[in-house]
Amino acid sequence: MSVVIVGGGMAGLATAFELHARKIPFVLLDGAERAGGIVISEQIDGYTIDGGPDALLVQKPDGIRLCEEVGLGERLIPTSPPRIAFVQRNGCLHPLPATSVLGIPTRLGPFAATRLFSWRGKLRMAGELFVPAKRDDADESIGAFMRRRFGVEATTYLAEPLLAGIHAGDVDALSVQALFPRLVEAERQHGSLLRAFRRQPPSPAAAEGAFRSLPGGLSELVTALVAAMPRRSIRLRTPVDRVRCDRSDGFRVETHSGELIRARALVLCTPAYVTSQILREAAVDLAQLCAEVRYASTATVALAFTRGQVDHPLNGSGFVVPRVERSGILAASWLSSKWSHRAPADRVLLRTFVGGARDPAALDRADAELVTLSRQALEPLLRITGAPLLTRVYRWVRASAQHEVGHLARMAAIDRALERHPGLFVTGSGFRGVGIPDCIADGRSTASQVSSWLSSSVSA
């Protein structure tokens, strides 16, 4: 086999799709029952539930482009208006100021009117215009960056629940350079994020919101990708135990059943800790570096109610919860308001997120406990009465890669180690990008590198 791919999440599927487009033979191996990794959509009693990610970010177009290439372009749908996200503070929900970028205000009016921040907090955030730009290139945490530029209140009610929360991570551990290079570049070029974002023209796609999904959930993309591959090129229920390297004969991939598959090139699209285990004999140096990438565990809890049970208008997409609120959840999405046709008529579909670095023991609880925790967090805010019509819990053990301070330096070391193992490649959320569009982009880029390496090794 020219190429063996290990891992059938979005990075692995994107790698396989690009290799197929380049007419390079491959086989993809995954130990799971289904392809897609954390992307899973279910149709239950008229509800469409995404257990993992439910959207593609327009600003990062690789996910949108891949949908178009597999024939799903016309099925992409925007979020339903009004496109408002909320932040919980003191037991109340406050909308993020309009025209903000990652919560950072770009216009004075909406920012001055919001009740999310105190006047002291607003004045400190406005003073960001006069904060000197950082002079060195040393990495820093998201929390350190935001406190330095906008103050403590902005860090507590924006950076911690929003910027760190979407990665289920610790605001004082996650790397701003690795996860939000746009913020670092804005400071470097303009000296102020307020000044930089105020000068930026609105995105053409902004009128229809920043996100897109598919009517049947993001699993539609997984199904379309699998259907686009050659038959038998994707082998599920085939976990890989180890890899052996033969300088003259490429790689020998050993499955759990004892089968040996020879390959000229090997692409590992597994979580970094799984990659470390697979490479424990073939590339000890690389295995040690991969083992350093930390992961957090999360769960999503879907709950359905009749519309009459929920007194809140649900006029938006959902809300994030700062750590200081101590509600037990990280965030909640109002799925039936966010996307059209996700619930039957006169029904409401909600989803909460629990766990992460904030509550690492959350997944030790039983499903019923996680449902109760979610109900206790939602009921006073949304004025919910009665029991849910349907509940569903999705557990994601060690599924959220934590790109902490120093991650870019570690990635540079990983790339140097890969140079010592010709024909070996790694991709996936533990390495160069954590979101679905990033994983798709890096998977396809990795496939391009594989193609170049195969061509050069033949000519050599």
Domain containing residue 440: CATH number: 3.50.50.60
Task: Return the pLDDT at 203.
Answer: 62
Task: Return the pLDDT at 184.
Answer: 96
Who's near 56: CB < 8 A, 6+ residues apart? 63, 64, 67, 76, 211, 212, 213, 218, 436, 437
Same domain, residue pair 288 and 312: no
Same domain, residue pair 154 and 201: yes
Is residue 334 one of the residues assigned to a domain? yes
Same domain, residue pair 377 and 328: yes
And the tokens for 440? 């798709």
Is residue 212 one of the residues assigned to a domain? no
pLDDT at 64 exceeding the cut of 70 = yes
Domain of residue 121, CATH code: 1.10.3110.10
Is residue 52 one of the residues assigned to a domain? no
**Are the CB atoms for 392 and 368 separated by under 8 Å?**
no
Tokens 């949108």 belong to residue: 64
CA distances from 37 to 10, 177, 418 (A): 7, 26, 25
CA distances from 109 to 12, 37, 121, 203 (A): 45, 43, 15, 20
Same domain, residue pair 289 and 430: yes
Cis status of the peptide bond prior to 97, with omega within 30 of 0:
no
List 95's β-bridge partners, or say none.
86
Residue 26 backbone phi and psi in degrees, to 5: -155, 165
Provide the residue range defining the domain that includes 135: 96-205
Is residue 355 one of the residues assigned to a domain? yes
Task: Return the pLDDT at 287.
Answer: 97
* Residue that terminates a domain, selected from 402, 425, 447: 402
Residue 170 backbone phi and psi in degrees, to 5: -90, 120
Is residue 14 one of the residues assigned to a domain? yes
Same domain, residue pair 424 and 339: no
Collapsing DSSP states into helix, strand and coil, what is residue 57? strand
Same domain, residue pair 315 and 289: no
**Other CB atoms within 10 A of residue 162 CB:** 21
Task: Return the pLDDT at 246.
Answer: 74
pLDDT at 168 exceeding the cut of 60 = yes
Task: Return the pLDDT at 209.
Answer: 87
* Residue that terminates a domain, selected from 381, 402, 423: 402
**Other CB atoms within 10 A of residue 256 CB:** 13
Handedness of CA 85, 88, 94, 98 (dihedral sign): negative
Is residue 266 one of the residues assigned to a domain? yes
Task: Return the pLDDT at 336.
Answer: 97
List 349's β-bridge partners, or say none.
304
* Residue that terminates a domain, selected from 156, 177, 205: 205
pLDDT at 205 exceeding the cut of 70 = no
pTM assigned to the model = 0.95
Q: How many domains does the chain have?
A: 3
Distance from CA of residue 49 to its chain's centroid? Answer: 17
Question: What is the DSSP track for 118-147?
Answer: -HHHHHHHHGGGGSPPP-S----BHHHHHH
| DSSP code of residue 202 | P
- Angstrom distance (rounded) from CA 447 to CA 61: 18
Domain of residue 328, CATH code: 3.90.660.20
Q: Which amino acid is at 71?
A: G
pLDDT at 102 exceeding the cut of 90 = no
Same domain, residue pair 116 and 191: yes
**Other CB atoms within 10 A of residue 92 CB:** 12
- Burial of 420: CB neighbours in 10 Å, binned 0-12, 13-18, 19+: exposed
- Angstrom distance (rounded) from CA 276 to CA 265: 17
Task: Return the pLDDT at 334.
Answer: 98
Same domain, residue pair 234 and 175: no
From 25-29, 247-251, 387-391, the region with the lowest mean pLDDT: 247-251
